[in-house]
Structure 1
Amino acid sequence: MSKWMRAADAVGQIFDGATIALAGSGGGLLEADAVLAKLEERFLATGHPRDLTIVHALGIGDGKGSGLGRLAHKGMVRRVIGGHWSWSPAMQQLAQDESIEAYSFPAGAISTLLREIGAGRPGLVTHVGLRTFVDPRIDGGKINARATEDLVELVELDGREYLRYKPFKVDFAIVRGSTSDEAGNVTLRREPADLDVYAAALAAHNSGGRVIVQVKARAQDDYVPARLVRIPGILVDALVEHGPQVQCAVAEYDPAISGEVQTPIDDGFYELPTGIRRIIATRAARELQAGQSANFGFGIPGGIPALLADQGRMGSFWGSVEQGIHNGAMLDGAMFGTARNADAILSSVDQFDFYSGGGVDVTFLGMGEMDRAGNINVSKLGATVVGPGGFIDITQGAKKIVFCGSFEAKGLVVEEHEGRVSIRSPGSVPKLVERVQHITFSAERARITGQEVLYVTERAVFRLEDAGVRLIEVAPGIDIERDVLARMAFRPLIDERLLVAAEGESA
Structure 2
Amino acid sequence: MLPLPSQPVRPLRHWKTLPAEQAAALIGSGSTVAVSWLGDSLPGALQDAFRHQRTPRDLTVVYGTAQGHGRTHGLNLLAEEGLVRRVIGGQWHPVPGLHALAVANRIEAYSLPVGVINRLFRDIAAGVTGHLSRSGIGTFADPRHGGGRLNPATREDLVRVVHAAGQEALLFRTFPIDVALVGVGFLEGTAEMVMTRDAMTMARAARKSGGLVIAQINRVGTLRKLPIGQVAVADTLVDVLVTTDGHDRAGDVFATAPAPRTIGWPQRA
Asked if TM exceeds 0.5, the reply is yes
Question: 1:69 corresponds to which letter in structure 2?
Answer: N
What's the CA shift for 1:230? 3.3
1:198 aligned to 190, 197, 200, which one?
200
Q: Distance in 2 between matches of 1:63 and 1:246?
A: 10
Output the CA distance in 1 between the equivalents of 2:191 and 2:16.
7
- Out of 1, 18, 21, which is 2:34 matched to? 21
* TM superposition shift of 1:125: 0.7
Identical pairs, percent: 36
Q: Secondary structure at the match of 1:140?
A: coil
Cα separation, 1, equivalents of 2:87 and 2:23: 22
CA shift for structure 1 position 16: 0.5
The runs of 4+ residues in structure 1 deviating greater than 3 Å are 216-220, 228-231, 245-251, 332-336
Matches within 5 A, 1:99-498: 99-179=106-186, 185-188=192-195, 194=196, 196-215=198-217, 216=219, 229-244=231-246, 245=248, 250=253, 333-334=256-257, 383-385=264-266
State the distance in 1 between where 2:174 and 2:187 align. 30
User: Could you tell me how far apart the structure 2 residues matched to 1:165 and 1:249 are?
Assistant: 29
1:352-392 Cα distance to aligned partner (Å, 9 max, x none): xxxxxxxxxxxxxxxxxxxxxxxxxxxxx99415xxxxxxx
Q: Matched residues in 2 for 1:382 and 1:176: separation? A: 29
8 Å contact from structure 2 (residues 39, 250) kept in 1: no
Aligned residue identity for 1:33: D
Amino acid at match of 1:208: G
Q: How much does 1:147 deviate?
A: 0.7
Give unpaired runs (5+ residues) of structure 2: 1-12
Task: Give the equivalent residue in structure 1 for 2:18.
Answer: 5
What per-residue deviation string (whole Å, max 9, x for no partner) do you get for residues 108-153 of structure 1?
Answer: 1111101110111122111111010110111011111111111011
Distance 1:127 1:106 in 2: 12
Give yes or no for contact 1:61–1:69 (8 Å, CA) kept in 2: no
Deviations along 1:278-328, one digit per CA (max 9) or x if unpaired, are: xxxxxxxxxxxxxxxxxxxxxxxxxxxxxxxxxxxxxxxxxxxxxxxxxxx
TM-superposed CA distance for 1:231, in Å, is 3.4
Of structures 1 and 2, the one scoring higher in RCO (CA 8 A, sep 6+) is 2
Paired amino acid for 1:10: A
Which among 44, 47, 57 is matched to residue 50 of structure 1?
57
Preserved contact between residue 124 and residue 165 of structure 1 (Cα < 8 Å): yes
Secondary structure at the aligned position of 2:49 is classed as helix
Q: Say if 1:149 and 1:59 are closer, same or farther in 2 by CA, change over 3 A.
A: same
Distance 2:250 2:256 in 1: 16
1:33 Cα deviation from its structure 2 partner? 2.7
Q: CA deviation at 1:61?
A: 4.3
CA deviation string 1:428-477 (max 9, x = no partner): xxxxxxxxx87xxxxxxxxxxxxxxxxxxxxxxxxxxxxxxxxxxxxxxx
Residue 200 of structure 1, CA deviation: 1.3
Assess if the C-alpha contact under 8 Å between 2:50 and 2:57 holds in 1. yes
**Residues 185 and 35 of structure 1: CA distance in aligned 2, closer, same or farther (over 3 Å):** farther
Distance 1:246 1:11, change over 3 A: closer
Corresponding residue for residue 503 of structure 1: none
Shift of 1:157: 0.9
Q: Is the 8 A contact 1:211 1:235 kept in 2?
A: yes
Unaligned runs of 5+ in 1: 25-30, 189-193, 252-331, 337-380, 386-436, 439-507
Q: Deviations over 1:378-423 (max 9, x none)?
A: xxx99415xxxxxxxxxxxxxxxxxxxxxxxxxxxxxxxxxxxxxx
CA distance in 2, matches of 1:69, 1:382: 15
Equivalent in the alignment of 1:87: 94
Check conservation: 1:105, 1:134, Cα contact below 8 A.
yes
Report the equivalent of 1:72. Answer: 79
| Alignment RMSD | 3.0
Distance 1:185 1:147, change over 3 A: farther
> How far apart, CA to CA, are the structure 1 residues paired with 2:187 and 2:82?
34
Counterparts of 2:212 and 2:263 in 1: how far apart (Å)? 38
State the Cα distance separating 1:250 from its structure 2 match: 4.5
Do the aligned partners of residues 60 and 77 (structure 1) sit closer, same or farther apart at CA in structure 2, a change above 3 Å counting?
A: farther
Provide the rounded CA distance (Å) in 2 between the counterparts of 1:198 and 1:80: 21
In structure 2, relative to structure 1, the CA distance for the partners of 1:145 and 1:247 (3 Å cut) is closer
| 8 Å contact from structure 2 (residues 36, 65) kept in 1 | yes
Q: Name the SS of the counterpart of 1:53 in structure 2.
A: strand
Q: Which has the higher mean CA deviation after the structures are superposed, 38-47 or 168-177?
A: 38-47
Q: What amino acid sits opposite 1:79 in the alignment?
A: R
Structure 2 vs 1, CA of residues 184 and 239 (structure 1 numbering), >3 Å: closer, same or farther? Answer: farther
The match for 1:356 is: none
- How many residue pairs get aligned? The number is 248
The normalised TM-score by structure 2 is: 0.82
How many angstroms does 1:234 deviate by? 2.1
Which residue of structure 2 aligns with residue 311 of structure 1?
none
AA at the equivalent of 1:7: A
